[in-house]
Structure 1
Amino acid sequence: MKKRYVSIPETLEILSRKDASTEFEKDALQYVEGFSKIDEKVAEKSVSEIRKLVDIPEKVVVKLIDLKPANKEEITTIVSSYGVIISEKDLNTLVDYFNSL
């Protein structure tokens, strides 16, 4: 079985299809409903698009999609928490990308 990082919008889609029978599942569904900022299809497509634009690890891309940063400072804060440093050009690319969503 192949493991991959799953964004909040993708998690919402998975949990929505499942019949939430336990309190944990209901709580998880309610949580992701509150924090999902973009459509699941857009999130899934965005992972590959961002990875083509900027060379950063998949887990960082997924976290960026989850949080949908609005400016360079937010992006820098997110990527630096993973020990990743990106160039000014890549920061601008990411800002433009997220502003277009």
Structure 2
Amino acid sequence: KFYTEAPDMQPRKIQIFSENTLVDQLPLDEDREEITIAGARGPVVLSVKHRRAKVVATSCRHKTCMKMGSIHASGQNLVCIPNRVRIAITGQNVQGIDGVVY
């Protein structure tokens, strides 16, 4: 799991990227059994249940993206490097702070 936003963000959407291009945005609170994403080497299948997203099938050899488990917090990402697919959870900052400098 990789984080790209502050962990105090309220999770709202799932963003799906293929070849570093945003291909879809979905609400995190709607359950979906299978979302098929066209990857560079074949399909990647995503499932969304109970405000959690996980890769349930992939065409890559090592299946690392499936082994990463589910993501649920804003800033978490699932990545399938061979297929060049990234699934990110984005959100809204609850506290209204966008950065801190020391």
Determine if the TM-score, normalized by the shorter chain, exceeds 0.5: no
What TM-score results when the alignment is normalised by the length of structure 2?
0.23
Specify which structure has the higher proportion of helix.
1
Specify which structure has the higher proportion of strand.
2
Say which structure, 1 or 2, has more relative contact order (CA 8 Å, 6+ apart). Answer: 2
What TM-score results when the alignment is normalised by the length of structure 1?
0.23
Q: Which structure has the larger Rg over C-alpha atoms?
A: 1
